Each structure stands twice: as C-alpha cells, then as structure tokens.
C-alpha cells in the first residue's frame, strides 16, 4: 500500500518511543524525527501534508532495500531554510533524499537504523 506524509505521521504516533519528534518548522509542514536507538543519531524529515507520496530527507545513507527508491546524495546541493531548521542542532544535516514507496519499507528503514551496530 502506497504511503504519504499524513499516513506516516499516524504510523510514527503509534510506534513512539521508537521514533520521536525532533523538530518542526513554523508552519508544521516539515517535521523531523529521531530514531531512538543506541547507535549514532539518525534523523529524517518529510512534508507531513504531502498526499502524493512519502519523500524523505535523512542524515545517514539509506540501505538499498525494496520500497526505497530515488535515493539521491544531496550533500553538495543547496537545501531549503525549512529543511535546515528541522535539522538544527543535529550533528549531521540532511545528506540524502529518497522516496518510501509503502508502509513496509517505512518500517524496514526504521528497523534498519535501530539495529545498525
């Protein structure tokens, strides 16, 4: 089943404290979340109001796995001020952009970073 920003918020609310809200922009359109694992800080962000898909910015390289598409290295690219704000205070800023195709892939991505040693 395809996933979007609105549905992702509902999923994240159900799995707290595994993933917690990190920051949100002034308009509550863009939010970042921190995966609460013992490993390195993993923070990701997305537009909560997007209904056409789940387009995510993340500060660590995402794995190559089914349901994660359009992975793009954005380290050298200019980023919006809203994106900078939701990663503010995070030691590693957004480095990658990707599309998460479905709910299973979303859970798999979170689990991957939770279990990364």
Residue 42: its pLDDT value, please?
Answer: 93
Nearest-CA neighbor of 32 among 90, 98, 115? 90
In this prediction the pTM is: 0.92
Mean pLDDT of 46-72: 95
CA-CA-CA-CA torsion sign (26, 27, 30, 35): positive
Q: How far apart are CA 100 and CA 40, in angstroms?
A: 22
Q: What is the mean pLDDT of the chain?
A: 92
Residue 58: its pLDDT value, please?
Answer: 97
Mean pLDDT of 88-92: 86
Question: Residue 27 pLDDT > 90, yes or no?
Answer: no
In sequence order, what are the residues at sequence separation of 6 or more whose Cβ sits closer than 8 angstroms to the Cβ of residue 65? 105, 108, 109, 112
Question: Residue 39 pLDDT > 80, yes or no?
Answer: no
């Amino acid at each position: 089943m395809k996933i979007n920003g609105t549905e992702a918020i509902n999923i994240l609310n159900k799995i707290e404290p595994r993933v917690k809200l990190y920051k949100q922009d002034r308009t509550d359109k863009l939010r970042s979340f921190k995966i609460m694992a013992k490993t390195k800080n993993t923070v990701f962000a997305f537009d909560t109001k997007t209904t056409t898909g789940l387009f995510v910015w993340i500060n660590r390289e995402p794995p190559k796995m089914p349901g994660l598409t359009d992975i793009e290295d954005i380290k050298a690219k200019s980023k919006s001020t809203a994106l900078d704000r939701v990663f503010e205070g995070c030691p590693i800023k957004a480095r990658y952009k990707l599309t998460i195709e479905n709910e299973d892939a979303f859970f798999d991505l979170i689990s991957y970073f939770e279990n990364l040693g």
